Amino acid sequence: MDSNHLCHAIDLKGAFLYEVYWFDNGPDPVSEGCFRIKKEGKIGFANTKGEIIIEPKFKCSNPFYKGLARVTLECSTFQDSEYHSLMQSDKWFYVNKKGGISHYE
């Protein structure tokens, strides 16, 4: 974690891989064997080995639940309290763990 409260994943040589998505007041918890990551301001997913399973391309995302993650390419975020942020979009859809689109909301 750096001085800006960012949690970075690095490889065995110390090279930066991606930022672990910051959820509330800590790194994103593992859900169904994966967690959210950020790279260049976009959200994707990595597995518990640290391997990227879905490249970061989403503006906002929820964790996986019952095999699907709710994601969007267009989103606005805002703080509802000191630690909690909310995501708003009219264009949510669901992806599976291979990144395939399941259905639109």
* Pairwise CA distance, residues 10 & 102, whole Å: 31
| pTM, entire model | 0.85
Domain ranges of the chain: 7-104
CB burial of 78-87 (b: ≥16 within 10 Å; e: otherwise) equals: eeeeeeeeee
Q: Say what the pLDDT of residue 89 is.
A: 93
* Pairwise CA distance, residues 103 & 24, whole Å: 28
Does 3 or 105 have the greater pLDDT score? 105
Over residues 4-34, the pLDDT tens digits come to 567 888 888 998 999 999 887 789 999 999 9
Q: Which fold has domain 7-104?
A: Lipocalin (2.40.128)
Provide the residue count of the chain. 105
* Pairwise CA distance, residues 50 & 28, whole Å: 13
Paired with 8 in beta bridges are 19
Task: At 49, list the tokens.
Answer: 């080995």
